[in-house]
Amino acid sequence: MKKLYEVTVEHTVYVMAEDDNEAKWEAELALDDSRYDIQPDSVIASRVKSYIDKEWRDGQPYNQDADDERTCAEILEDERIRALRDAEPCLPGMESR
């Protein structure tokens, strides 16, 4: 399942990807023109967990599925809700065995 990634080359872009490597590749595709001399070791990709740059909050990430019209902020919120729903409750003294 694709997740939201923040990728920094010379600029920060947001992409939907399965993992860090795909996120880097998608960012390189999105920024691939004569204005950028992209060096693979200068590309940094990380899962978005808590913060989206202000100018991207209402924007849509690169590589988003055609039928998905959510903004970066909406995707992050959906991922947070999914993580909370999927988390196993663990009360003191009730650890999984």
Integer Cα distance of 38 and 63 in angstroms = 19
Q: Which residue in the block uniquely carries the two structure tokens 């967990």?
A: 49
Range of the domain at 75: 3-86
Q: How many CA atoms lie within 13 A of 80 on its CB side?
A: 10
pLDDT band at 72 (very low <50, low <70, confident <90, very high): very high
Domain presence at residue 95: no
Q: Is 44 exposed, middle or buried (0-12, 13-18, 19+ CB in 10 A)?
A: middle
Give the global pTM.
0.67
Give strand ranges (E) for the chain. Answer: 3-8, 12-17, 44-47
Q: What is the mean pLDDT of the chain?
A: 80
Domain presence at residue 48: yes
Say if residue 5's pLDDT is above 90. Answer: no
